[in-house]
Amino acid sequence: MNLEQQDKKYVLQTYARNYTNFVKGVGSALYDENGRDYIDFASGIGVSSVGHGNKKLVSAICEQAKNIIHISNLQVIEPQAKLAQKIVDLSGYDMGLFFANSGAEANEGAIKIARKYGEINFDEKRYKIITLEHSFHGRTITTVKATGQESFHTPHFSPYPDGFSYEKSIIDVYKAIDNETVAVLIELVQGEGGVQPFEKKEIQELAAYLKKDGILLIVDEVQTGVYRTGEFLASNLYEIEPDIITLAKGLGGGVPIGAVMTKHKEVLSIGDHGSTFGGNYLSTCAGLAVLEILEELYESGAIASTHLYLEKKLESIVKQYGNLFEKEVGLGLMRGLRAKNVSIQSSVQSRSLEEGLIVLKAGRNTVRFLPSITITKDEIDEGFKRFEKAISSL
């Protein structure tokens, strides 16, 4: 029985898998079982933020594993407290954190905080949360319902929790607010929705409006956070102060971790929320190592330099291959090329893999680029050589 047969027999088939078997990673390159290398412009969907085999991260994980991997949250966990402080310090916001294992769990926590806030801060309970079309907030029943894409709301998993609505634009959010609205949940750059950023001014105006009326602004930074868009948080880049922020993906460099942070630190009480694995020694130790690596790169200007380099490469592709792509979209190292149709998008992804390059797909016919934040210019150059080879015959 080969690997593909084994997977199909024993693993639930919820993914449209490619069966390239990767056995090693170094920096932004992956190697299959035959020793062939692939440039990784996906980083595990924005997770491997410091690349593969990063010595500092590997050392931190190994050293921690020798001592303690896990205890329960009934005891204090030193690296958890240190990571919480580090995140707060880097964010510049006066917030408290709860650690989970994924972005979906972080968003579940954000929704629970908002629901309780709506119970204790208004004469009549507020519970409704407004999100946006093309958004993506997770795969649990509640976060699927919070996701503003009807294709996710199949009848197979109904009934879904109520209290969620989706608006086409920021302007429409204002019209949708009523006396049961407790929060607005947005991504500042819609990842699955096509790597689509919102305008800074409209976000700032929305934040000010919500604050005036005591309605919470929740920013899903599962994909945009941890220097992905240039600053530590996209919220910093947009110069707003949300009430709640969620993080995951790149925070652990590949070790599962999620976090919800809020300035309303008094809302949740003992017993209101919990997680067996969330914030354990291994994941928070990894998070501390990742932030130490990336903070140093940020302060040196290396991250900004890499952003500009990638952006220029993508702009060049659009100019040269206007028959395939309409425009370049995104921020920082969260980028996309808007293909002219879904057929081109699919062909670009499959042909790139044939040429030894991993890219992703997103909504609105977008070819998505989420390389590690530590990717080198040489790795970018090699990736685009392979990309041009892949698309030149389309």
CATH code of the domain in which 243 resides: 3.40.640.10
Domain-located, residue 100: yes
**Nearest by Cα to 237 from 300, 179, 189, 287:** 189
Instruction: Specify the pLDDT at position 69.
Output: 98
C-alpha to C-alpha distance for 170 and 202, rounded to whole angstroms: 7
Domain-located, residue 333: no
Number of domain units in the chain: 1
C-alpha to C-alpha distance for 153 and 61, rounded to whole angstroms: 38
State both tokens at 371: 């390389």
C-alpha to C-alpha distance for 281 and 391, rounded to whole angstroms: 45
Instruction: Specify the pLDDT at position 111.
Output: 98
DSSP one-letter string for 352-388 = HHHTTEE-EEETTTEEEE---TT--HHHHHHHHHHHH
Instruction: Specify the pLDDT at position 122.
Output: 96
Domain-located, residue 143: yes
Give the structural domain span for 73: 56-299
From the CB of residue 270, how many other CB atoms can be counted at a distance below 10 Å? 6
The per-residue pLDDT string of the chain (394 residues; one tens digit each, 9 = 90 and over) reads 999 999 999 999 999 999 999 999 999 999 999 999 999 999 999 999 999 999 999 999 999 999 999 999 999 999 999 999 999 999 999 999 999 999 999 999 999 999 999 999 999 999 999 999 999 999 999 999 999 999 999 999 999 999 999 999 999 999 999 999 999 999 999 999 999 999 999 999 999 999 999 999 999 999 999 999 999 999 999 999 999 999 999 999 999 999 999 999 999 999 999 999 999 999 999 999 999 999 999 999 999 999 999 999 999 999 999 999 999 999 999 999 999 999 999 999 999 999 999 999 999 999 999 999 999 999 999 999 999 999 998 9
State both tokens at 99: 């650690």
Instruction: Specify the pLDDT at position 393.
Output: 86
Domain-located, residue 315: no
Domain-located, residue 354: no
Domain-located, residue 60: yes
Domain-located, residue 11: no
Domain-located, residue 171: yes
